Structure 1
Amino acid sequence: MDDQHRYSDLAKILQRVWSIESSSKWTPDNPAKGQCGVTALVVHDLFSGDILKTQTPDGWHYYNLINGVRRDFTESQFTEKVDYQDVPSNRDEAFSDTNEKQYGYLKSNVLREWSV
């Protein structure tokens, strides 16, 4: 399976497993809301690459750079187009947006579906 299909599959899995357990800001109408830090960490676990951030009106927004391509699996949470600044970040900063319980929940649920 090529990378594009793997990213597409991961996006579908994330849509299914995001919940109030992975972000306290989650809602059924906006499942990606508040999922950026925890998702960037899990994507980094799967694909390595870099974690980047961009300032938004709500604070820092985290996403990934994989093989030189920006991958933002949570951009659907925004109603307006994101003005990406691609500021270098890291796991510690992305983790400041989540906690162990949320990270463990998302990672275990993604891996369970990813290996199917």
Structure 2
Amino acid sequence: MLTLSRLRPVVRNAWGPDTCDPIDLADWRPENPSRGQCGVTALVVHDLLGGELVLGEVFEGGVRRGYHYWNRLPDGTEVDLTRDQFRPGETVTGGVDVVRPAGSPNRCRGQYELLRHRVRSGLHRDEGAPLPTPAGPPVRIAVVLLVDPTGAVLLQLRDRHARAEPGQWGLVGGHVEAGEDHEQAARRELAEETGLVVDAEFQLIWQDMRPDLAEGTSGVDVRAYVARCDVVPSDAIVIGEGQAAEFVKLSEVTKLDLTPTAAAVLSRLLTRTG
């Protein structure tokens, strides 16, 4: 039987900048891992334990700063695994039951699916049960964080029907083809998806082996490169994939529904710039 005492540490270990709501991404720190995790966490707890979703408001200095989700279990017990994220002066008020839409959420879909996968995998490991064996070798993915002279970063709005993270804003990139390395693939994907050819150094800034939630392979080897470019006129970008691609000020990226990978990469820049 699944208990809260067993679930709590598994959920906590599953949190990261890639499961954080982008709105709170600039405030996420390893020492406060529950920051920005309330929405996706409440959904995963609801998946596992049922009950109701509860929504409250967050105030700071008498001003509403946002919203906070937690759970009410079938026996009436209220469970809030992310309440310790709040700083002194931040208070949560109210608490009304809300109806959960069917399926994955429209916003932070990638974060929810990633957290759900990590939690379920963690529970399997705790039970000593063998995890399902994915088929096929790891998928190799290369993405590029292109930065213009003002510090704005190039982001791509993914197609609404993409198999992974549909409708979220991510980094330009894609599969590494046979005979390519990750950097070559990043350059090719940038040209194919935006029409931009950048004659600049591509520096590896982030890499991770991530679960493949779309195709069921043994994992995804993702490597992200940063490159700087000259000023790019808005009409120079030619969309070859996705719904849109545009340069976004770093101070504005947290207003977008970022993919988990984009959030993980951008969190490093946000931490450096405060």
Same fold (TM over 0.5): yes
Other structure's SS at 1:73 match: coil
Runs (4+) of structure 1 moved beyond 2 Å? Answer: 79-84
Q: Which residue matches 1:102?
A: 111
TM-score by length of 2: 0.37
Letter in 2 for 1:90: V
Other structure's SS at 1:115 match: helix
Kept in 1, the 8 Å contact 2:68–2:92? The answer is: no
Q: Which residue matches 2:14?
A: 17
The structure with the larger Rg is: 2
Per-residue deviation, 1:37:
0.3
- Which structure shows the bigger proportion of residues in helix conformation? 1
The 10-residue stretch of structure 1 (71-80 or 40-49) with the greater mean CA deviation from structure 2? 71-80
Q: Which residue matches 1:63?
A: 70
User: For 2:99 and 2:17, how far apart are their aligned partners in 1?
Assistant: 24
User: For 1:73 and 1:17, how far apart are their aligned partners in 2?
Assistant: 12
Q: Which has the higher relative contact order, 1 or 2, with Cα contacts under 8 A spaced 6 or more apart?
A: 1
Letter in 2 for 1:77: Q
Kept in 2, the 8 Å contact 1:75–1:82? The answer is: no
Q: Unmatched 5+ residue regions in structure 2?
A: 60-64, 126-274
Q: Which residue matches 1:35?
A: 37
Q: For 1:10-44, what per-residue CA distance to the aligned partner results, in whole angstroms no more than 9, with x for missing partners?
A: 11011111001101423212100000000000000
Q: Percent identity?
A: 34
- Which structure shows the bigger proportion of residues in strand conformation? 2
User: For 2:31 and 2:77, how far apart are their aligned partners in 1?
Assistant: 28
Q: Which residue matches 2:54?
A: 52
User: For 2:93 and 2:37, how far apart are their aligned partners in 1?
Assistant: 17
Q: Unmatched 5+ residue regions in structure 1?
A: none
